[in-house]
Structure 1
């Protein structure tokens, strides 16, 4: 299989995830891993599906695989932060979400996770700043989406 075939598998997996067909997504991603095991994006998509299935420890392992391939993969840091949060590992989740927001300052999810972790750790003032940044980014994203719809 070629790189374009892997891209096709990733598109199929994303489609399954949007349809909440997580097992099907993981089956497609397993095919992609056999072809390109050093593709961090594949491992990150696996983590997404596993988070939705509430398999948080498995999702963290997939994020770790993605990060071993690309330590600066912001989305993998965000997914890891989310999985750690669900396991109530707030300090570790805060560290991962901070890394994600440092790598991609426009990642609203990373800022939101950072806020909820700070809140859990009793740092309400810092949490409000992170929540504010998340909300600001969400508004910007909504405006961009709306302007794209208007242009069509």
Structure 2
């Protein structure tokens, strides 16, 4: 299978994740990574599936690989933060989430992850600011989606 098939494999794998068919998704992510090991997106997306499967240490390893390939991959930072949070590593999780929002200030999930990490580290006031930013972005996304749906 040629490298040009990698985007299709990633899209199919993402579809399986949405259906909670994680085993099928991982098989496709593995195939995509074998074809193009230098594709940070493949590593990052596989990390997201592993987080859903509660395989947090493996997800962190995939995020680290994505970040070695692209240190500015905002989603990999966000996913790393979430996996670290689930392992109770709140300070490094906060650092990862902060990096994610620095790279992509419009990522509602990254702001939420930052908020929960701030809360766990005793910074409640800062957490409220992060939660508010997350909520604001979610509302904007909902409005945009509704406009697109109505406009069709």
Which residue number in structure 2 is paired with residue 21 of structure 1?
Answer: 21
Q: TM-score, normalised by structure 1?
A: 0.98
Tell me, yes or no, if structure 1 residue 34 matches structure 2 residue 34: yes
1:8 shift after superposition: 1.1
1:28-77 C-alpha deviation (Å, 9 max, x unpaired): 11111111000001001110110011000000000000000000000000
Which residue number in structure 2 is paired with residue 144 of structure 1?
Answer: 144
1:3 shift after superposition: 4.1
Which residue number in structure 2 is paired with residue 8 of structure 1?
Answer: 8
**Following the alignment from structure 1 to structure 2, what is the Cα–Cα distance between the partners of residues 118 and 11?**
33
Q: How does 1:95-134 map to 2 (within 5 A)?
A: 95-134=95-134
Q: TM-score, normalised by structure 2?
A: 0.98
Residue 44 of structure 1: SS of its match in structure 2?
helix
**Following the alignment from structure 2 to structure 1, what is the Cα–Cα distance between the partners of residues 101 and 63?**
16
Which residue number in structure 2 is paired with residue 63 of structure 1?
Answer: 63
Where does structure 2 lack aligned partners over 5 or more consecutive residues?
none
1:9-45 C-alpha deviation (Å, 9 max, x unpaired): 1111011101101111111111111110000010011
**Following the alignment from structure 2 to structure 1, what is the Cα–Cα distance between the partners of residues 3 and 37?**
12
Residue 46 of structure 1: SS of its match in structure 2?
helix
Where does structure 1 lack aligned partners over 5 or more consecutive residues?
none
Residue 20 of structure 2: SS of its match in structure 1?
coil
